[in-house]
Each structure stands twice: as structure tokens, then as C-alpha cells.
Structure 1
Amino acid sequence: MTNPVDKPSGNDAGRIRLRAVADSAQAGCRFDQAAAVLFADYSRARLQKWIRSGALTVDGRREKPTFRLHGGEVLRIDAEPEPDTRAEAEPIPLDIVHADDDLIVVNKPAGLVVHPAAGHPAGTLQNALLHFDPELAAVPRAGIVHRLDKDTSGIMVVARSLRAHTRLVAQLQSRSMSRIYEAVVRGEMRRRGTVDQPIGRHPRDRKRMAVVPGGRPAITHYRVLTALGAFTHLQVSLETGRTHQIRVHMSHLGHPLVGDRQYGRKPGPVRGLDPRVVAAVREFPRQALHARTLVLRHPADDAECRFTTDLPEDFSGLLARLRGGDD
């Protein structure tokens, strides 16, 4: 688990200062590979640069990226971040929930990719943010501190300064930032529960994640909001933030998200199900997952802030159809 160290202060407020301890899962891994896992909020290229410059160390020593860890080493970052100039500003509309001098809270629509990447070099949230506030070019990844999948909608926070970025990343890593989702899954579920299962790369399909021995710890809490016969409307909260965590954990329970083509098995027929419900589920174009609420400490004064978004139209329409109403 990655643990933040001293909060920035004074003239060092803009520096990124983080600490992580390599556990048994990183034993035998290369230094750069372990760093990519332990400091997942930063790109591999940035981590490699910090390793080469000595800003990222092992037990206080500079080591080559190929250095093999034994487990138990302390990895530290003490770096001055550089502007990320790879993304260009684009006039993409944003749904701004809140904005002040330190942060921006946005409601990301389904279909919008967060960062430029292979297959999505432009047209992303990062491009949109740089158009909204050009000064975000001086903050890593235009201030984005956490991600949502392309087809997951909902609330995200963006840091507008290096100090805010460092403090928000620290909250994520210390698990003091709360993220609450709503989801629609297949099947009937118990009133509430917790999934505590490690997540890592699928052993045969590297594009997917899976519950695997030796994966990174992952904890998901859920409770039933509405029983919908052959489906269940859930509230889901995360203690950890692994890639595709909710989707993987719900699929592991045998209750994949409606519309999740990557982690959901092809559904069999359900006796007596209204044909309109069958059509609504079959035609839903994405995983039924929305980041509804975000609770954090404001980076300026440490005051608790709570931001909430409405369910998007497609999600509300799906719920209406499953309840037997009109969409």
C-alpha cells in the first residue's frame, strides 16, 4: 500500500513527496515495475525519469530501473513535477459541479476518456480541462488525480495547483477520500456486503483485470438500494481504487453490471421477464455505473467537502424500465 509522507509546506509546497513500502507482491520485481504499481497515479515515463534523476529512491539510495527488489524496501519520491505538454487544449464542453482556486469538480459523461492514450490521442477530459484553464498545464495530467473508465459516468475532482494535487493524491492513497457509486447488476443480491479480494491482471487476457492470488488488495462495500426482480440497484463505496474494481468484484460475485460487455457473461433467458425489460437491458450501451458522490478534505483548509451529481438520463431511464415504468 502506498502511504503519503510529510505534507508539503513553505517553499516546498509544490513538491511531490510520497512514500511506499514494497510488499511480498513486489519481491523479485524490477524497481521501475514496482514503482508503476505503488505509484499508479503517475505515468511510467515520469517514474522512469524520476528514477534516473534520483528523485525516486530505494531505501534512500539511487538505483537503476532494473534493480530487483526483495520486498520490504521503502520507495520515496521527492520531486518537482514538470508540466505535461503532451495534451493540447480542446474546446470540449464540461459539466462543472464546483470550481474554486484550488480544485475543480466535474461530472464526466459516459463515453469521455479521461487521459490521452493509445487509441485516444485527443478528445479527452484532459484536453477539455486545458481549454477550460490553460494554467493546468503546470500541474501533472492537468490536475487529474483519479480516473473513471470511459463508459463510467460521474463525479471527479481536479487539482488546480501543485499543492492541491499533492494533498488530493495523498488523500486517495491514505483512503481518506470517499467515492460512492450507484450501479445496476444482474440477479438478486443480499441487503449489504463487502468484497475483500485481491485484483491483478487476468492471467490469460492482459486487457482485463481479475481476482487473482497475489493481486493488489481491493475492498468494495455495497448495499441494496432497490430490488428489481432479476436485477438489483446498488450503492457501492470503495476503500481502494484498483483498475475496474467494482466491475471485477461484482462479476466475481456472479452479479456483473448491466451493460458490461467486458466482465459480464452473456445472460441467459429469464422466465417471465417483460420483453421491454429484456430490450432495455440488451440495448443499454455501457456498464451501468455512475460515480454519484465524492467526499474529500479541501486542500486549502482541510474542511470536509461533499459533492453529489444526479443520475444521468440513460441510467435513470434504465431504472424506470426495470421498475416497470416508462423511460
Structure 2
Amino acid sequence: MQKKEYPVTHAASLLPFLLEQVRGQSRNNIKSLLTRGQVQVDGITVTRHDHSLQPGQTVTVLPQSAAETKAPFPILYEDGHILVIDKPAGLLSMATEREKVRTAYRMATDYVCRTDPRGRVFIVHRLDRATSGVLLFAKDEPTKRAYQDHWDTLVDRRGYLAVVEGRPPRQADTVRTLLRENAAHKVYSVRSGGKEAVTHYTTLGAGTEYTLLEVNIDTGRKNQIRAHLSELGCPVAGDWDYGAATDPLGRLCLHAHVLILTDPFTGEKRTFHAPEPRGFRRLVR
């Protein structure tokens, strides 16, 4: 099979779309293409059968040989000590009790082992499953410890892009609250007994329904941005858990687009950028 591209003209799920577009292949063969990582949506490998497609996207089916050598996600930077990827939305950073295989950690490990069977990767930090963007792995234990032990002092900026419903009360502001997680694993602000969370936001553009925000965080609490923006009355688009009423792109509209930190060994300032997801700007025109 040669590389083929299929433009998406209407909203659909990935498996039915492939069954309709890829001729001469059985349902089982199409599922195998997904399992082997031969299917990409806008250049990002997707293996979920129910992945949502939106008009304007492009689905690419790769030959098996290309899928075997290509990373399952964009590589932003790689050297002998770290691997930085652009994690797709919907992909876990690491394993949970329910999902142990389809994770960024597992895929990064498989990618590294293709060139070095003894290669390993180590979790340094995490992104929410629904959030896309810059994710850093260490490739050896000393590097992992160096980053994790001094993460708060090494990181200069963790920047996100968020498309929110409506508009926040101010063009730019800082939200500082205490956050607590309830039994349903939802995070919310409390007056006492929580962990401090600090979120800064600036408006980049606004349309009739949505606003694009630049968001920077001083603390990395679970679901911090999602909770704070929801409490301002402008939940992240596609965030059903935190009060969103719409899902315009078939995903949570939150993207970690920049990570700036200091190399713990050389003292060098390192900046990693993940391109803005397609569709974010269109929503605020």
C-alpha cells in the first residue's frame, strides 16, 4: 500500500470514515492499520477507532514500512538525554489501572527502542489526557532525577493556549486560589484545606462565541487551568467535566504550546514549542 491522503469533508468517527474511503480493504484490515500506527490525522498518529474527525482535517494512511520507522507523534527535540514530543489530545501521558498500553510513555519507549533495544524513557512531568502539547521525557535516570527534583526552580514558563466559551471578565488577569479534588476526581476552589494554584491569562483574540487565551501557570496542579477558567464563567471549549456546552473541534481546546526551562547540567536555557492546533484561530475569527 502506498501513502494516501483523504480530506475530511464532514464530521465522522475515524473507523467508519476509513471503511468508506479506503477501497479493497476488509474491516479487520482497516482495524489493523490503526493498531499498527499507519493512520494519521493532520500528521499525528491515531489508533482509536472512535477518534472524532472534523471538516478540513486530512487523514493519511501510511505504508507499513513507514509506520515502523516513524514516531507515533511529532518529535519536537531529541538528544542523548531527553525526548520532547507534541502529545496528541486524547492520549494518556502514562499508564492507569484502566489503560496500560496506549500511552505516550509506552509509545515513546517503543520509539526509542527501535534504534536502541536497551533504550528507555522516564516520566518527568505529565499533561492531562485531553490536553495536547509539549511533553518532556528523560532517557536516563540521572536526567529524570535532575529535572524532577528541581522542576519548580528549573521551569521558567509553562504556556498554554485555550479556546474558551464566552469571554473572561477581564482582558488579562491572575487567578490565585486553593484547589481541592473531590471523590469524583473533579478539582474545585476552596477557602481552606487545598493546594495553592496560580494561573495567569491574557486574551489573544475573541469572536462571537469563543475567546482564545494565552495561559501561563506558576503551579502545576491537576486540572488547574480547566477549573480556574470554568470558575471565571468561561470553560474551555469541549470540556464537559467543567461545564462546557459545546465541542467545536471534537477535543478539549487546551494545548501546552511552550515549555521554557534550564538544563540542570549545563545551565543552558531551553525552549520547546508545539505548533498551535488547527482550528483554534478559526473559532475566534
Secondary structure at the aligned position of 1:217 is classed as: strand
Q: Deviations over 1:188-225 (max 9, x none)?
A: 232211010011112xx422111123111110111111
The residue number in structure 1 matching 2:220 is: 241
Could you say if the C-alpha distance between residues 311 and 283 of structure 1 is closer, same or farther in structure 2, counting changes exceeding 3 Å?
same
Could you say if the C-alpha distance between residues 93 and 138 of structure 1 is closer, same or farther in structure 2, counting changes exceeding 3 Å?
closer
The answer to whether the 8 A contact 1:130-1:136 is kept is: no
CA distance in 1 between counterparts of 2:217 and 2:250 reads 24
- Give structure 1 stretches of 5+ with no counterpart: 1-90, 267-280
The answer to whether the 8 A contact 1:136-1:143 is kept is: no
Secondary structure at the aligned position of 2:175 is classed as: strand
The question of 1:252 aligning with 2:231 is answered yes
CA distance in 2 between counterparts of 1:186 and 1:108 reads 24
Secondary structure at the aligned position of 2:149 is classed as: helix
RMSD: 2.2
The question of 1:209 aligning with 2:187 is answered yes
* Shift, 1:137, TM fit: 7.8
CA distance in 2 between counterparts of 1:238 and 1:216 reads 14
Could you say if the C-alpha distance between residues 132 and 227 of structure 1 is closer, same or farther in structure 2, counting changes exceeding 3 Å?
same
CA distance in 2 between counterparts of 1:231 and 1:225 reads 11
Q: Deviations over 1:172-203 (max 9, x none)?
A: 2336342100001122232211010011112x
Could you say if the C-alpha distance between residues 206 and 261 of structure 1 is closer, same or farther in structure 2, counting changes exceeding 3 Å?
same
Could you say if the C-alpha distance between residues 136 and 201 of structure 1 is closer, same or farther in structure 2, counting changes exceeding 3 Å?
farther
The residue number in structure 1 matching 2:175 is: 195
* Shift, 1:138, TM fit: 8.2
The residue number in structure 2 matching 1:16 is: none
Aligned match of 2:153 in 163, 170, 174? 174
The answer to whether the 8 A contact 2:212-2:284 is kept is: no
The question of 1:319 aligning with 2:284 is answered no
The residue number in structure 2 matching 1:107 is: 86
- Paired letter, 2:131: T
CA distance in 1 between counterparts of 2:195 and 2:122 reads 25
Structure showing the higher strand proportion among its residues: 2
The residue number in structure 2 matching 1:186 is: 165
The answer to whether the 8 A contact 1:103-1:158 is kept is: yes
CA distance in 1 between counterparts of 2:275 and 2:167 reads 25
- Paired letter, 1:199: L
CA distance in 1 between counterparts of 2:260 and 2:248 reads 33
Could you say if the C-alpha distance between residues 175 and 217 of structure 1 is closer, same or farther in structure 2, counting changes exceeding 3 Å?
farther
Could you say if the C-alpha distance between residues 309 and 92 of structure 1 is closer, same or farther in structure 2, counting changes exceeding 3 Å?
closer
Count of matched residue positions in the alignment of Structure 1 and Structure 2: 212
The residue number in structure 1 matching 2:74 is: 95
Matches within 5 A, 1:27-176: 93-134=72-113, 142-174=121-153, 176=155
The question of 1:225 aligning with 2:215 is answered no
* Shift, 1:136, TM fit: 10
* TM-score, reference length from structure 2: 0.69
Secondary structure at the aligned position of 2:226 is classed as: helix
Could you say if the C-alpha distance between residues 282 and 158 of structure 1 is closer, same or farther in structure 2, counting changes exceeding 3 Å?
closer
CA distance in 1 between counterparts of 2:117 and 2:185 reads 30
User: Rg bigger for which structure?
Assistant: 1
